[in-house]
Amino acid sequence: MAAPALTTDIIQKAPKVLLHDHLDGGLRPATVVEIAGEIGYTGLPTNNLDDLREWFIADTPGSDLVRYLEGFAHTTVVMQTAEHLERVASECAVDLARDGVVYAEVRFAPELHMTGGLTLHEIVSAVLIGFAAGAEQARSEGHVIIVRAILSAMRQAHLSEIIAELAVAFRDQGVCGFDIAGPEDGFPPTHHLSAFHLVQRENFHMTVHAGEAFGLASIWEAVQFCDAERLGHGVRIIDDITRVGDHYELGRLANFIRDRRIPLEICPSSNVHTGAATSIASHPIDILRQLRFRVTLNTDNRLMSGISLSSEFAACTQAFGWTLADMEWLTLNAAKSSFFPFDQRLEMINTVIKPGYAELRNLEA
């Protein structure tokens, strides 16, 4: 029996793992409008849902990171109470589960949600309660998902050690790692060494936004000074890879990243929308896949890019001709690279992911 073509329906049904998704970048437009009305926020560019949905998507010619980030001023303002944080987190879990995601690590920066008077602990607690409620609702709909949190510190601020301590404090309650996010240029990861060293001493997990808007130096600092387990984006590692005739030559850093199997949390549509890549078709993700880097496919900000993980797989399939085997390989990469405990990770791979793809392979073309 021939293997099925990687159609939209197959992609939707396939179990998927998501490692790089921002909570404040994935709100439902209706939720933004409703909460804005509740709190009296009048700064939205429009209250029409279709128009607002289109406004958030920064995919017009000439879009860059500055334009891309404009939308977060509107999403974070509606995420300043425990009730609203719980709602947003719950809807996030439900939306991901409906898209076929079986495991997700969703990140957010607690320091961005304090203007309503919540403490950092209250903020994290509210999000974790929301994730649990959303997973339960998804289960009632016939979808099983595990959602865990990564706490991000803003690299242009000075709270990274406090956020690292917060992540460790919630490690047994649903937080699985620490991250730094925000502008790379001018704010290198080495400015936050005390936070990374704290995470290391606590035998905890970390990923670092590096190699998106800035180049190889950011990646080098993240892995060599901060000991990053994963790279958020990391796509600029392509700058250390040279095409020579019919093959590619890797520089020392690229070889190190590949040899050490350091996962790349790649987000193609987001990279296009921020100007880090010119198109999906020209995005280096497929070269990195062919060279067998530990590539994973991710969404980054579903609202701002107007995507789901399924649509991201579909776009890459159209651009690169990916097969079901490629999709399974990328999904297994993500599962193996997750901050899920080893035994639970193996159970997920052997009882959910591999059987799910085996079932799809048995379908008639």
Q: So which residues are the catalytic ones?
A: 212
Asked if 50 contacts 135 with a C-beta cutoff of 8 angstroms, the reply is: no
Of 286, 299, 323, 291, the residue nearest 232 (C-alpha): 299
Side-chain-side CA neighbours of 60 within 13 Å: the count stands at 8
Q: Tell me the two tokens of residue 272.
A: 């296009």
CA distance 134 to 93: 5
Place of tokens 């001023």: 73
Phi, psi of 274 (to 5 degrees): -95, 0
CA distance 364 to 118: 54
CA distance 265 to 237: 12
CA distance 334 to 207: 13
Q: Which bin fits 275, alpha (ψ -120 to 50), beta or left (φ > 0)?
A: left
Phi, psi of 280 (to 5 degrees): -60, -45
Place of tokens 């242009």: 156
Burial of 278 (0-12, 13-18, 19+ CB in 10 A): exposed
Of 184, 173, 124, 117, the residue nearest 151 (C-alpha): 124
